[in-house]
Amino acid sequence: MVTTFPPDFLWGTATAAHQVEGGNGYNDNWILEHTAGSPFKEPSGDACDHYHRFREDIAQLAARGFTMYRFSLEWSRIEPEEAEFSLAALDHYRRMLAACHEHGLTPMVTFHHFTSPRWLSASGGWESAGSPEKFARFCERATRHLGDLMPLACTLNEVNIGPLLDSIGALDPRRSRETAWYAAAARAVWSEPSRLVPFHFADSSRGRDTILAAHRAAVEAIKAVRAECAVGLTLAMEDIQALPGGEQAADTLRHDLQDAYLEQTTGDDFVGVQTYTRRRCGPEGPLGAEEGVELTQMGYEYWPEALEGTIRHAKAATGLPVIVTESGIGTTDDTRRVEYIERALRGVAACLRDGIDVRGYTYWSALDNFEWALGYRPTFGIIAVDRHTQVRTVKPSALRLGEIARTRTL
């Protein structure tokens, strides 16, 4: 069946500052990467040098047929010390926004994508009652400088990432805080383990409340300066599926990881859905990968249909328009990526056919980049980046998704 997408549907790719810019030495993650005993496989270093090469990258995305580019502001560049704002950094992001407009790409700005200034994380970070106000002050300052070029904004990326990582066993904040590595990282920022709370480590209910309060305060701050800017948060959403007898476990998991956050989006302009895979629940609770199902580089089940389920759930839980702010796969086999994208988009099309207001699809990621603790091994990009020469190579998946974007046809 041929599927046609609406004329104003946004076709995007995404990146995040710390994963592509390079040299982000003022943020908390840089410290975690560089402290002895770090679980990070390698430091972020120069990343993709996108800080200097953004023009080339934006031009390439536009040439392929994309109409939107989602990128994040690095708060620690803009406010390297508390209440000390860098006009040079703000100007840099203004140039990025202008480059998007020049190339016909609608920019979507993420104000916070996991990394925070050291001074914030070291003083109670994302479990501190004062942080929402500090985040809102940054949003207000940045919107004053950038707002006229900023039609779309996400406050915080994946507000539920701490509890999600915890639930899949990828991070254990309590245990981490007891390690020599964490103690040394805390000392490096003149703090102590209990007061060093980067975004990923805020998995407690206090963390959730702090992050949601930061979202609400940020929406208010951005809107106060630029009412026309459409604002929302993004949520990491697995498609949570119940096996017979697993209904209650699935409901509990869905509540804790998704609904508790979706409930707090009242008044937002959209909800950003980010989906990579599904998770099954049996009578005993969440299950691992099903035997025989292909796994991605991340160890996730290859399950592109998960996106359709999460869009439907986000819509049902919020009533808001949905933007797919991330969907993607880490693989070395680009043919698997092409298939993943096409199958995920069939799910988006089914939602559109059912009248769900899905405004756009954003592939993660534009570039092969720094995949956090896993370093540069997982490759999510539709454009490959040579780590030594910084030479970019467009993959067939970029051509295919670009073609779908240009023709609006699958």
Query: Which amino acid type is present at position 182?
Result: Y
Q: Considering the complex, what minimum distance in angstroms separates the CB of residue 369 from ligand BGC? A: 7
Rounded to a whole number of angstroms, the minimum distance from the CB of residue 99 to ligand BGC is 22
Distance in Å, CB of 158 to ligand BGC, minimum: 5
In residues, how long is the chain? 410
- As to burial, measured by CB atoms within 10 angstroms (0-12 exposed, 13-18 middle, 19+ buried), residue 43 is middle
Angle at 109 between CA 206 and CA 361, to 5 degrees: 95
C-alpha R_g of the chain:
20
Instruction: Select 140 or 326, whichever has its Cβ closest to ligand BGC.
Output: 326
User: What is the DSSP secondary-structure string of 372-385?
Assistant: GGGTT-S---SEEE
Which residue minimizes CB distance to ligand BGC? 16
Q: Minimum distance from CB of 274 to ligand BGC (Å)?
A: 6
To ligand BGC, the closest distance from the beta carbon of 122 in angstroms equals 22
Least separation in angstroms between CB 145 and ligand BGC: 24
Query: Dihedrals φ, ψ of 409, to 5°?
Result: -130, 140
Number of neighbouring beta carbons within 10 Å of residue 408:
15
Q: Which residues contact ligand BGC by CB under 6 A?
A: 16, 19, 157-158, 236, 274, 326, 364, 371, 380
Question: Shortest gap between Cβ of 157 and ligand BGC (angstroms)?
Answer: 5
Structure tokens at 211: 């992050």
CB closer to ligand BGC, 157 vs 191: 157
Nearer to ligand BGC, 83 or 295 (CB): 295
Whichever of 16 and 344 has its CB closer to ligand BGC, that residue is: 16
Q: Which is nearer to ligand BGC, 5 or 126 (CB)?
A: 126
Separation of alpha carbons 26 and 23, rounded Å:
9
Q: Which of residues 318 and 365 has its CB atom nearest to ligand BGC in the complex?
A: 365
* Residue 190 to residue 185: CA distance in whole angstroms: 9
Pairwise CA distance, residues 96 & 139, whole Å:
17
* Cα distance between residue 19 and residue 72, in whole Å: 10
Asked if the bond preceding 123 is cis, omega within 30° of 0, the reply is no
**Per-residue DSSP letter, 374:** G
C-beta of 46: minimal distance to ligand BGC in Å? Answer: 17
Main-chain phi, psi angles of 11, to 5 degrees: -115, 105
Which one, 39 or 283, has the nearer CB to ligand BGC? 39
Q: Between 124 and 173, whose beta carbon lies closer to ligand BGC?
A: 173
- Exposure letters 50-85 (e unless 16+ CB within 10 A, then b): bbebbeebbebbbebbbbbbbbbbbbbbbbbeeeeb
